[in-house]
Amino acid sequence: MGIGLRTPHSERFLDPQAPPAIPWLEVLAENYFDRGGIRHQMLCRIAERYPISVHGVALSLGSSEGIVPEHLERLALLVEDVEPRMVSEHLAWSRSGDIYYNDLLPLPLTEETLDIVSTNVDRTQNRLGRTILVENPSGYLAFEQSTMSEAAFLTRLTERTGCGLLLDVNNLFISGANLGVDVGEWLAVVPPEVIGEIHLAGHEEGGTPDHPLLIDTHGAPVTAEVWHLYAAVLQRIGPRPTMIEWDSDVPSLDVLLDEAARAQKIMDRIVESDAPSHAL
């Protein structure tokens, strides 16, 4: 069970007397690209004590212009420095030419998009010398051009590239609420063995009374509905490395550790109760 390493808490993980009792940490890759910077140096010290997972947010796997070589190279150097257990990115795009958008933008799920994302994943994996995990996005709109479901798209992506998937349970719940994605069907289509990591996060209610919308904020506790879905996912696929993701309005470290402890209790209960089932 892991949590995201956030700047206000970094010093705590170097405490020689009472380091936080958490099995592993995940970092946002781009925050540590400055190889000589203080953040990067601190991360390298923390990586000597804790296993690390590297989570990218701006590689833009869905970009038809391809991956920026300099960005991929900086990611590769970070991976070389901290030797993470896992590396992940998003099924999204965030760049057009020299312009970077501060968001993870959606993609039409078509054969053309599958070719683009597969090429970019292959290039990333070849440079890193390892497989990566690709995260399912939170859904707010559906493209008329899409010719396949998200679950089918991601499954075919794993088949073509050998990559794995990072299942963000909060994102899946949001897509179900906003777009009517059938969560049970999603989990039935995606092979359990390709899911290498799970994210849990909070969301908020938005939109209008006539058009309610759930918004992935990463700035609140995990909701009861997402905890329930997490338990159901584990019942179906079995235990997976799970991380509490909290990026805005970051609370005290104790709050994050409590969320991780709750996730661990759910996982322990599922493991003790029985083997994975197909009920959702």
Q: Which residues span the domain enclosing 216?
A: 2-274
Would residue 100 count as lying in a domain? yes
pLDDT, tens digit, 9 for 90 and up, residues 92-116: 998 888 777 778 889 999 999 999 9
Q: What angle do CA 269, 196, 254 make, to 5 degrees?
A: 55
In a domain, 204, yes or no: yes
Q: What is the CATH number of the domain that holds 97?
A: 3.20.20.150
Question: Is residue 45 included in any domain, yes or no?
Answer: yes
What is the number of structural domains in the chain?
1
Distances in Å between the Cα of 239 and the Cα atoms of 7, 36, 231, 236 are 29, 37, 10, 9
Asked if residue 138 lies in contact with residue 150, where contact means CB atoms within 8 angstroms, the answer is no
Determine what percent of the chain is predicted with pLDDT higher than 70. Answer: 98
Q: How far apart (Å, rounded) are the C-alpha atoms in residues 274 and 26?
A: 29
Classify residue 37: in a domain, yes or no. yes
- Helices 111-128, 69-82: inter-axial angle, 10-degree rounding: 50
- The residues near 208 (Cβ < 8 Å, ≥ 6 apart) are none
CA dist 204 and 122 (Å) reads 35
Could you report how far apart the first and last alpha carbons of the chain are, in Å?
A: 23
For 262, the token pair is 């709750």
pLDDT at 279: 47
Q: What mean pLDDT is reported for the chain? A: 94
Structural domain contains residue 103:
yes
pLDDT at 233 (0 to 100): 97
Each residue's pLDDT tens digit, 152-187: 999 999 999 999 999 999 999 999 999 999 999 999
Report if residue 279 sits inside a domain: no
Nearest to 63 by CA among 13, 120, 11: 120
> Which residue's structure tokens are 């760049």?
95
Phi, psi of 209 (to 5 degrees): -55, -35
Backbone angles phi, psi at 195, to 5 degrees: -85, 110
The pLDDT tens digits of the residues spanning 202-259 come to 999 998 888 889 999 989 999 999 999 999 999 999 999 999 999 999 999 999 999 9
- Split at pLDDT 50, 70, 90, the class of 278 is very low
Q: Per the domain annotation, does 231 fall within a domain?
A: yes
Give me the long-range contacts of 68-74 (CB less than 8 A, separation at least 24).
Answer: 68/95, 72/123, 72/124, 72/127, 73/127, 74/33, 74/35
In a domain, 15, yes or no: yes
Residues 230/280, Cβ–Cβ less than 8 Å: no
